[in-house]
Every structure is written in C-alpha cells, then in structure tokens.
Amino acid sequence: MCLQKKSTMKKTLLFVLIAISTLANANPIGKQEAMKLALRFLKQKQSTTSTRTTSQRNQLKMVMQCPNAYYVFNNGNGQGFVITSADDRTDAVLGYAYTGKFDVNNIPVQLKDLLSLYEHEIKTAVRLQLKNLKTASGTRAGLSVKRSIHPLIETRWDQGAPYNDACPMGAFERTVTGCVATAMAQVMYYHQCPRGETLDTIPGYKSPKIGKVLDTLPKTTFDWKNMLRTYDENANREQKNAVAKLMKYCGVSTEMDYATAKQGGSGTVAVELPYALTHYFGYSKAARYADRSGYTSKTWNNMIYEELKEGRPVLYGGVTPTGGGHEFVCDGYESGDYFHINWGWSGLSDGYFRLSVLNPDQQGIGSFEGGYSLSQCAILGVKPNEGEEQLDAMTVIDLHLRGLSQMSRKRIEQGFKGLSMSYELFNYMLLPFEGQMGVGLYKDGKLMKVVHESDVISYEPITPKRTFYKAILKNFGAGLKGDYQLLPMCKEKKSNTWQLCPGAEKSVCNLHITETQLNASIINPQTIDLKLVSIDMPKVIKTGRTYTAMAKIKNVGPDFTGSLSFVFGNKRSVLGLSIAPGATIDVPLSFQPDVAKPKTQYRINVWDSMQDRDIDFVGKGEVDVAEGKNVPDAKLTASVFCTNGSSKKADELYGTHMEGRFEVKNTATDDYDRDLLIAIVGEKQDVQMKQLNAIIPAGKTITLPFVFDNLIPGTRYIVTLLGYEGIYLKGKAICNGAITCKAAVMKYLADGTPVALEPEESIDLTDAIAVDMRDLNVKKGTKLRPSNNPNCLYYLHEGSIVPETLKDKNVILGDEAPKITLQTNQPIRMLSNFTAREITCLRPLVANGKDTESAWTTLSLPFVPDAMKINGQPAELHVYNFVHEQENKLYFNTTQHIEAYCPYLLEIKHIHDATTDMMLTIHGKDVEVNQQAKSVLGSDNYNFVGTIGQHQPASAYLYNAAINRFELSQTPTIECFSAFVVPNHNNDDNAVRSLAVVLDDVELGIPAHTMANASRYAIYNLQGVKVGEGKEGIARLPKGVYVVNGKKVIK
C-alpha cells in the first residue's frame, strides 16, 4: 500500500538520485572531469529547451562529493543542478533539475523517503531469459523513439492551508489533506471532471487517528473556474473554498485516515483510488491499479510513458523500507527515461527522476535514508468516462514448481508426464474476474500455443486473500526440442482472446528440451549472498557532522531486491537496494556519529522490512571518531554588500535580480565548520534561502557570494546571515542588510545576461534579444531605441501604450501578440508563454549552385503551420519523422502532418534552379507558444532535437544534404527552428563521425565505407539487373535507388 507517513516539509529545493549502469572495468573520475561532464550535459539539455540562448553561461559549484560515487554541482543561483558519477562504470549523469538547488543538509523527511521509491523492483533479466514477451508483430528490430512530454500538471498544490480548510479538526489543529488526496485532486483538476454533479453520495466512516466519525458527503459539483493553479496570500475565500472542497471529497472518497502534521499526517491506501474515481467522480472504468513488482523495468517505463503520451497523468506511489510512503503525480517525460514528478508540495522539489533503478544492464546506488522502494504502484487509465469497459485480468504474484523439474522420455514423439506449477494470483481490478487461467508456451518471445486451460472460475476484487492456480501439464512437449518458456495467461469469459497476465514477466518457467530430457527451472529469489568487498570511510570523522561512506558490495548469489541496514555505533539507517547476479556496485551509506570513541564499530546487514530485523550479515569494520568542536555563531562578524545596486542610492536595486556578498570573519581560536543560511525576506513574506557549509579558519575572513532572482518590484527586502543546523535557526542574525527593489526595463543579451535599466526618457535596446517591461508603465513619449535583432520580443503588460518605435516589432501585450515575424538565422529568446494571432517564420535556403530536384533541411516549429511557401509559391514538401535507430542508422518514416514541438527532416521537391537563394515562408494563426516545451524525439543512443532559439551544443550531428547523412560537428551554431542529433552519452572519443539516414526503409546516400570499398561491389537496380561496378560505375549512374552490397541506397 502507499500510506502517507509525513505530510509537511521544510520548503527546500530538489535532490534527485537516479539509476546508474554497471559496465566493465572501473576508473575513477576526478572533480574537474566530472565538472566537464556536467557542463557538457547541461549544454546538451539546454539545446533541447526552446528558450535557451546560444551561449548561456553555466556557473557550476560542487556542493557535495560522495567518494568514488558521485559529485553534485549547483548551477548558478537556483538554475538547477547536476549529479555526475565519480566512476566510469556508470552513466555520466545520474540526476538533474532545471530549477532550484541541491540542498544536501536540509532534505525534507518525506523527500528522503521518496528517494527510496525504488526498492521493490522486479526479478532480473536472469530470471526472465526472454527476448520479448509480446507476440511477434513483424516490426523491425531497433531502439524505438520516445517524444519528450512537457509536464501535464500545471497546479502546484500542497496539503496545508488553504487546501485543508475543509478537513476535520484534530485535538488542537486542523488535519492535513494527505498526499493521496492532493495527488488525486491535482489529476482531477487537470481533467476538470466531473463537469456536472458527482455520481453518488460518499459514505461516512470513523477516522481512527482523530477518533471522529466523518459525515456522509452528498452529491455535489466542483467549482473548477475558481480554483487556482497556485495559491498565495492574494487568493480570496471563494477560491480557497473551491480547492478545499475538492480535497475533502478526494480524502473521504478514499477513506482517508485524517491526522495532523504532528501526528505524522493523513494517510490511506492507493488501491482505493480506482474505485473512488470511477464510482463517485465519473472516470473511466478502465482505470486500474498496477503493482510495479509485476513488470520488467522496460515494460513498466513503457506503460507509464504511454499513459503520458495519451495525455493521462499517472498517480504514482510507494513505501520505504522504514514504512514511510507517499503518493504523487508522474506527469512528464524526457529522453533517457527521466520522468517528471509533481510531489504535491507547492511545486517545490518537482523535477525529473528515473522510475526504475534495475535494468538488464543497469545497477542502482542507494540514497540517504531508504534507497529504493517497496510496493511501487501506479493508477493507469485515469480519464473521464467515455463508455470504456473494465479490462479484466489476474495479476500473478509468484510462481512455484511442484514435483519433478527434470523428466525423461524415450523419443521425441513422446510427451513428458506430470510437469506441475502453481501460480499465486491477485485481482487488482474493480470487479470480480470471471474467466479462465492458462499457461502459454513461448519461444523467442512468440506465443506458440496455450498448453493448459482452467475451468471458468471467479476471483473477488481487491481482497487481502491471495488465490492459487495449479497447472499440471500431462503428456506435454511431444515433438518439441530447444529452449522455451511457460508464462501465465488469462481469458475473460466473454472473450475469445488469451492475454498475458500482469506480472507474467516475473513468473517465467524456463524449459530446456532435448530429444529425451526436459529441464524446468525458475530462479529462487529468496537466496541471499551479498559480500562487502571494501568500504571507503572519510579520513577524519567528528561528532555532530554528517558523513557518507562508500561501500562496495558484490552479489555472489541470485538477483537481490531488498533492504540493507547500516549500523554505526548505536544508530541504524535502512536503504533499499537492487543488485543483479554477479554485479558489484557502490552504495553510499550516510551516518552522523554522536559519540567520540576510538574503534567505533559499524556493521552492514540485510534487513527484513516485514520482520523489522537483520536477517543476513554482509560486512563490518571499525573507525575512530573524534570530538567535534562547535564554534558559537556569536564569534562570527560580517558585513553585507549588494554588488548590482543602483548607482544613485546604495539601498535601492533596479530589476528583479540581486547579486551580493557577505564578508564573514571568525574571531574564535578554533575553526568554524558548520552551516550558515543566507535568506532574503520581503515585506509580503516572500522568502528565499541559500544554505551552505562554511569552513572559516580561526581569525580568518571569507567571502560568501549570493544571488537571488524573481524579486518583486516595489518591495523592501531584508538580507540576513544566520547560523543554521538542520531545520533549526541558531540564535540571532549574524548580519542584516536592507534594500528596496524597484521596477526596471529588463533587457536580455545574446549570451543570456540580464541587464536592468532604470526607466528614463531614452532607453537603448539595440543589443537586446528580449525586453521585459511588464513591471512598469511605459510613459507616452518614451524614446526606445529598438533592437537590431529582428527577432527581439518586447513584453509589455496588458493595456500598455506601445511606443511608436515598436509599432512594427514583435510586441506581446500581456500574454497575447497580434503579429510575430521571426527569422531562423537570428537568435531569439522567449521569456514566457504567449498566444500569437499571426506568426510567420522565414527560413533562407542558401543556393548550392547546382541543378537539383529537391532541397533538404531540418525543421522544428512551436506551432502547427497552415501554409508553407517557397519564394511566395506553394511548396511541395515531403516530411519525415524520426521513428527509431539501429547500429548508428536513423530511421525516418513519411508523415502527413507537422506537429508543434516535434523535429522533422524536410524535403522540398522540384527545386530545379538552385543557383539563387530561396526563402521558405512558414505561416500560422492563433497559436500558443510555450517557452518551456521541449522538441525532442529520443531513443536509447540518440536524440533528435528541435530548436526555437539559436543554440551551440558541445557537439552535435548536423544534417549534410550533400551526402544525406548527419555529420558530427564540434560546438556548432544551430539556427532557430532547426533540428539536430545529439548522443545520449558523453563519450566523445568513441563517437561515430556520421549517422546514416534511412527513409521508409531506403538508406539515403552511399556510406563512406561503401564508397571506399566500392571496387568490390556490383551495383544492381531494383529489378535485380546489374548496372555497374565500383566507384566509376556509381559515378556514371543517374540519380535513383540502387542496391550496393545488399543494401538499398539513393544516389
């Protein structure tokens, strides 16, 4: 179940920990190399973001190092972070976020729990030994493409006020909503369903923690129009009541056990969600509960992705080894199987995570307090009811062989007698399952036949009791020889179609059959054999500090998925872990000693979360712990300086961006080694904080720089420096400073630098690529010198007077632009979303001086075009969509439509005269431009990336029309509205120099290696007639499709 244990959090920023891949021999990665990897990754990711500028500056600072495991780098001030590996056996980048910062010393308890949402992973590929479980469909082998999906959920809701305003009162304070209710409410607001009245009354019940009987809730309607995406002090009572009512109905419909934050928060079980959604709120009966343990990582990720692709946010949850749980929303996707998570904490800590740690070629690292998940679950198929029927299927929990696993026969024509197996089943559906169970015989992933069928039986839904299906295969295997698999199947009574049971992938019986022998086997997941190979402890350990040791653990037994306990002195921490057979992985173990003692012992054990005890020994050791000296904050003195303030008044700042520094001196005789907090507090109680570990030698002074963004013009702020430990402020402020933020004209330069300009009669914007004047009223007569960049966007607030010099420019009033014209060979920056009533993009096509029938280019647009012309004439276009890649070949298929935020390969037909330049004009009407949307089609190895603004990635493959291939280029400048290919890895040394292009199964161009060896190959036309040989033969042939060395190529 997914039971909420903690419900409130300190408002801190995001930490992400995701999967790593164990490869061959390991080599350590130093800090400088790790920083290079982080910078390279950021540039690649920024190239997938439409609003990134060509040379956006990334300022990385290492804030955490886990020896031999990973480094954490914060990027600037609140511009996200990157976690890179310290070992080349793993993926170079382990986690990232675009906003916020990594705050290792202030991770909320729930986030620590949530970082452990990876434990209860499935049995590994060793147990499966399957290439594919689906019926063969004749599709080409290769790595399929997934499209980036911008986060679907726009709300940033939470569990406290005003969301809990309608929740019952506890003894002294109001209870909180509970994470299940908050997640459910956000998904319901996304669908805005039900539109009318709810379907039924919701029965009352007794809430155990507060000891109160909750009243039955009558049918009602929800006030969707008065619900806000985010709530602050400006929300009125009607708006607050609207969301509070929705939260109350969500909670009661799932029989929420209400409690206050001090009691650990409200909680319920996620398995109640499908019934509540369908029975009370009018959602599809196809909504179902899915248990993560029943699927391979690939299948599970694909299931979640397909939900998101269909526009359905997924309710997702899990439980930690220590019993904490959380329900949240998975609502977006980026290439590399990064899924966007909305935690339900007012938008804080939202970011991209991997859902799975264990893959056939990947291993996981643990996290701070719990590692990976127990009981991951998801609610699939959540959408308004459109008449769908529930899809009934039994979930398989486990498989046991009964009787003999080795059998003999005299000859191949005979069958084997008495092969027996028992499947443990559970019905997660809303209704009883009525139908048959069966056993399917598979070979190489293809269903051969159903070899056993049960009688028609009925299983009750969602009950604690599990049931069993026993199959005895009599006279089985006549005529069979080779390797096969037996998998559990089911069939509804009303259906003629057998389907694999959910969970079948973990319940595989492998068969090896010879002419006279049958060997049946399954892997016993209960056998545990983990060994501690080594452990890297910090050289100096003192009381009162938090440390991380790196344990190298080897699995010499079968696949292990479970928990480890780490006992240091008298303290225990538990983390989840998944290790494939034979693998050795690095596991970070966090501890905080509180007793100074020589030879303090530590011990690592396998932990049984159900029995709450150690069950198997892994390793042990000892280390000296010294007494940590704490210099009081009173021994610190400091001064504060604003470095980008007004030149006229020291206590004024123009714009919303503040830079400054504290100069801090330690007057004590011992070194200061503790956390400090830099905070900025506005008059409207808007607060931003920066936490950092300060090491100040005795008698020395250090500089602590700070940067704060998104300040509110007209607001007076106090910048303060405080001592800090955990979530507790220590004593009085060390230093304070006051400054008033004033409205300014914000211009953004081509390198991304924001420049705040004081409002004056004349303002020079000639070097800007974007201008923001929404915080002030532009006076009539103000002289604005417009940008020299024709793509510059000018943002004014709704109702502003447009200066005369901007009359024919790209002006956006509020969130609407009457007319936008953009040139693809000039940089562009978008500051926020807007609607363009008319938009035109101009793409110059440079002459190549040759007579040709077609021109090739790449294209990615932020809108769906309604017209495309060449030099004012309608253009005949062939559009190709990236569908998959295989062996450094990119496969494209013809598509009839151009979608927004999707990259394409474009062929412009019948261009006979290419001796003069041409202009491709693309037009659209009433389009919504999303400055955060990604234009990425990604596979395992390569991403096809579309741009809106100009970009300069570290390296990229650019389309070369002369040879019809994507060629590798270093630090190229990518034009606006173009597309390019980047690898999903950072190993430039092994990067291929070019990628072949295959259109509708025909490979374009003649690959370089084919040309080099052309003298060896005969050339045939498509009728099989030999038409030439070698390089000379190729040169003499007319343009067309030929077969060279067994492959179709286009000349």
Q: Which of 688-702, 727-741, 750-764, 938-952 has the lowest mean pLDDT?
A: 727-741
843 and 985 assigned to the same domain: yes
Whether residue 725 contacts residue 688, with contact meaning beta carbons closer than 8 Å, is answered with no
751 and 874 assigned to the same domain: no
Residue 57 in 3-state DSSP? coil
HEC profile of 678-717? EEEEECCCCEEEEEEEEEECCCCEEEEEEEECCCCCCEEE
Sequence-ordered alpha helix ranges (H) in 743-854: none
The single-letter code of the amino acid at 336 is G
CATH number at residue 542: 2.60.40.10
Q: Is residue 950 part of a domain?
A: yes
Structure tokens of 268?
């319920």
Give the rounded distance of the alpha carbon of 876 from its chain centre.
38
Q: Is residue 352 part of a domain?
A: no
Structure tokens of 906?
């474009």
Q: What is the pLDDT confidence band of residue 583, given thresholds at 50, 70 and 90?
A: confident
Side-chain half-sphere exposure of 48, counting CA atoms within 13 A:
27
CATH number at residue 485: 2.60.40
551 and 598 assigned to the same domain: yes
* Distant-in-sequence, close-in-space partners of 77: CB < 8 Å, separation ≥ 6: 101, 690, 706, 707, 708, 709
Residue 799 in 3-state DSSP? coil
What is the number of other CB atoms lying within 10 angstroms of the CB of residue 665? 16
896 and 975 assigned to the same domain: yes
Last residue of a domain, one of 497, 521, 545: 521
Q: Is residue 1033 part of a domain?
A: no
Residue 988 is classified by DSSP as G
d(CA 742, CA 763): 17
603 and 731 assigned to the same domain: no
Task: Dump pLDDT digits (tens) for 176-201.
Answer: 999 999 999 999 999 999 999 999 99
Q: What percent of the chain has pLDDT over 90?
A: 37
The single-letter code of the amino acid at 783 is K
Q: Is residue 821 part of a domain?
A: no
d(CA 386, CA 450): 33
What's the chain's average pLDDT?
A: 79
How many degrees, rounded to 5, is the angle at CA 922 between CA 916 and CA 927?
165
Task: Dump pLDDT digits (tens) for 345-387.
Answer: 888 778 887 765 322 222 222 222 333 244 678 999 999 998 7
Domain assignment of residue 194, given as a range: 179-272
d(CA 371, CA 589): 10
Element (H, E) at 1010: helix 1008-1012
Whether residue 223 contacts residue 142, with contact meaning beta carbons closer than 8 Å, is answered with no
For 147, phi and psi rounded to 5 degrees? Answer: -95, 140
Residue that the structure tokens 């929705």 belong to: 246
Residue 188 is classified by DSSP as H
Examine the residue annotation and report whether 340 is marked as an active-site residue of this protein.
Answer: no
d(CA 273, CA 276): 5
972 and 888 assigned to the same domain: yes
d(CA 759, CA 713): 13
d(CA 455, CA 809): 74
724 and 791 assigned to the same domain: no
Whether residue 326 contacts residue 113, with contact meaning beta carbons closer than 8 Å, is answered with yes
Task: Dump pLDDT digits (tens) for 429-476.
Answer: 767 788 899 999 999 889 999 999 999 988 877 665 668 899 999 889
Residue 934 is classified by DSSP as B
For residues 251 and 1015, which has the higher predicted lDDT (pLDDT)?
251
Examine the residue annotation and report whether 179 is marked as an active-site residue of this protein.
Answer: yes
Residue 81, Cβ density class (10 Å: 0-12 exposed, 13-18 middle, ≥19 buried)? buried
Last residue of a domain, one of 698, 717, 742: 742
CATH number at residue 227: 3.30.910.30
The single-letter code of the amino acid at 523 is I
d(CA 536, CA 400): 41
401 and 507 assigned to the same domain: yes
Distances, alpha carbon 983 to alpha carbons 85, 355, 634, 941, in Å: 18, 22, 52, 6
Q: Is residue 163 part of a domain?
A: no
For 811, phi and psi rounded to 5 degrees? Answer: -100, 135
d(CA 180, CA 446): 39
- Looking at residue 244, what is its pLDDT? 98
What is the number of other CB atoms lying within 10 angstroms of the CB of residue 617? 13
Given 326, 340, 452, 657, the catalytic residue: 326
Beta-strand relationship, 652-654 and 728-742: parallel
Q: Is residue 543 part of a domain?
A: yes
548 and 447 assigned to the same domain: no
Structure tokens of 924?
């659209």
Element (H, E) at 1012: helix 1008-1012
Task: Dump pLDDT digits (tens) for 909-944.
Answer: 766 555 567 889 999 999 999 887 889 998 878 999
The model's pTM is: 0.68
Element (H, E) at 1044: strand 1041-1044
Total count of domains within the chain: 6
Side-chain half-sphere exposure of 653, counting CA atoms within 13 A:
28
Task: Dump pLDDT digits (tens) for 798-808.
Answer: 988 899 899 89
Q: What is the pLDDT confidence band of residue 599, given thresholds at 50, 70 and 90?
A: very high
Helix axes of 179-191 and 273-281: crossing angle, nearest 10 degrees = 40
Q: Is residue 111 part of a domain?
A: no
Whether residue 119 contacts residue 371, with contact meaning beta carbons closer than 8 Å, is answered with yes
d(CA 74, CA 709): 15
Distances, alpha carbon 453 to alpha carbons 76, 423, 444, 777, in Å: 62, 13, 22, 77
Whether residue 679 contacts residue 719, with contact meaning beta carbons closer than 8 Å, is answered with yes
What mean pLDDT do residues 945-955 have?
A: 86
Last residue of a domain, one of 240, 272, 304: 272
* Distant-in-sequence, close-in-space partners of 808: CB < 8 Å, separation ≥ 6: none
Peptide bond connecting 28 to the previous residue in cis, omega within 30 degrees of 0: no
For residues 807 and 101, which has the higher predicted lDDT (pLDDT)?
807
Task: Dump pLDDT digits (tens) for 760-775.
Answer: 878 999 999 999 999 8
Residue 60 in 3-state DSSP? strand
Where do the DSSP E strands lie in 381-432?
Answer: 395-402, 406-408, 419-426
755 and 846 assigned to the same domain: no
Residue that the structure tokens 């050339």 belong to: 1019
Sequence-ordered alpha helix ranges (H) in 173-327: 179-191, 237-253, 273-281, 297-309
What is the number of other CB atoms lying within 10 angstroms of the CB of residue 999? 18
Task: Dump pLDDT digits (tens) for 527-559.
Answer: 678 899 999 998 888 887 778 888 898 888 766
642 and 764 assigned to the same domain: no
d(CA 259, CA 245): 18
What mean pLDDT do residues 601-618 have?
A: 78
What is the number of other CB atoms lying within 10 angstroms of the CB of residue 872? 7
Given 167, 179, 377, 792, the catalytic residue: 179
710 and 790 assigned to the same domain: no
Transcribe 23-43 into DSSP letters: -SS--B--HHHHHHHHHHHHH
Exposure letters 716-730 (e unless 16+ CB within 10 A, then b): ebebbbbbbbeeeeb
Q: Is residue 510 part of a domain?
A: yes
Residue 986 in 3-state DSSP? coil
